[in-house]
Amino acid sequence: MDTQVRGSRIPLESDVRVVIVTMDTHVASATLRARATLARQYPGIELRIHAASEWSASETALEACRDDIRLADIVVVTMLFLEDHFQPLMPLLQEKRAQCDAMVCMMSAPEVVRLTRLGKFDMSGPTSPAMALLKKLRGNRENAPKGGAQQMKMLRRLPQILRFIPGTAQDARAYFLTLQYWLGGSEDNMLNLVRALVNRYADGPRREWRGKVTAEAPVEYPEVGVYHPRMKGRVGEDLAALPTSSRARGRVGILLLRSYLLAGNSGHYDGVIAAL
């Protein structure tokens, strides 16, 4: 088949299947929009997402997830903390780990995270030089960054530092970039998460995809900010950007979850704001 890459037609014979497995559906809308964009830009890259919140109540949904993992070339697993969520998948993930092109497991139970295998970056193996360096950069527990803002600052710094270290460090860098994409879970970031993994790790008959898929750097969003469906850009840091009305006799503030806003999964919030 042919795919459109950078304005030219490049023949690519093998499809690449990417499966994301996560706790709930908060990024599903952004992922489905990214899937539609991938279908237009890179026919042959198939993206699927499954949520534990759905399969925990449906054996059919669980089997659909297992079927997609069996067929996957790249597997991304996130936010599986509860045993009820990850235990039904563990035997299959353990088996699939050695067969797929890459497996990225993040922000999950330790036994899940240890399944990560990205090139030479293997979470199940002995401590690599790259991981030893990361621990040194992080410091001891007393000096480790505390609070979400400090941790995000360190997360953004790590790929910049690792960029200049050859070998396994480049696979460690890809891991932390994948985490950055996920935490900034907008349509753009979900799209580039898939692009970056395919471009670097597609292997076997799919290796021809390497170097042919363009991925942008993670888009950064404020950790704390303001939101309104009628505000330009919808999410921002400037309180003055919120829309006002000459008829207003007061202001109501609502605390919202950032991840839903970035994913564009905000219809429930928008309805409450409109009603108020």
Is 17 in contact with 100 (CB distance < 8 Å)? no
Could you give the number of structural domains in the chain? 2
Residue 45 pairs with which residues in a beta bridge? 16
Q: Is 201 exposed, middle or buried (0-12, 13-18, 19+ CB in 10 A)?
A: buried
Strand ranges for the chain from DSSP E: 2-5, 8-11, 16-22, 45-51, 74-78, 102-106, 117-118, 121-122, 226-227, 235-236
Q: Are 51 and 139 in the same domain?
A: yes
Instruction: Judge if 67 and 133 occupy the same domain.
Output: yes
Q: Are residues 246 and 128 in the same domain?
A: no
User: Do residues 174 and 46 both lie within one domain?
Assistant: yes
Whether residues 129 and 249 share a domain: the answer is: no
Percent of the chain with pLDDT over 90: 52
Both tokens assigned to 153: 């600052």
* Shared-domain flag, residues 194 and 119: yes
The pTM is what?
0.82
**What pLDDT score does 126 carry?**
60
Among the candidates 184, 209, 234, a domain finishes at 209
Identify whether residues 252 and 205 lie together within a single domain: no
Q: How is residue 222 written in tokens? A: 């404020």
Contact 106, 179 (CB under 8 A): yes
Residue 50: strand pairing partners: 21
CA 72 – CA 197 distance, rounded (Å): 13
Domain match, 145 and 232 both: no
10, 131: one domain: yes
Range from 130-144, 149-163, 204-218, 236-250 carrying the lowest mean pLDDT: 130-144
Q: Note the pLDDT of residue 1.
A: 40
Task: Look at residue 221 and tell me if it is in a domain.
Answer: no
Q: How far is CA 215 from the centre of its chain?
A: 13
Rg (CA), the chain: 20
Query: Which domain range does residue 246 map to?
Result: 226-275
Distance from the Cα of residue 207 to its chain's centroid:
22
d(CA 160, CA 63): 40
Phi, psi of 122 (to 5 degrees): -125, 115
User: Which of 45-59, 187-201, 231-245 shows the lowest per-residue confidence on average (mean pLDDT)?
Assistant: 231-245
Classify residue 155: in a domain, yes or no.
yes
pLDDT tens digits for 44-65?
999 999 999 998 889 999 999 9
Same domain, 53 and 6: yes
* Token pair listed for 177: 């970039």
106 close to 178: Cβ distance less than 8 angstroms: yes
Do residues 254 and 170 share a domain? no
Q: Are residues 84 and 138 in the same domain?
A: yes
Pick from 28-32, 53-57, 242-246 the range whose average pLDDT is largest.
28-32
Residue 3 pLDDT? 42
Q: How many CB atoms lie within 10 A of CB 176?
A: 21
Give the pLDDT band (50/70/90) at residue 81.
very high
* 128 lies in some domain: yes
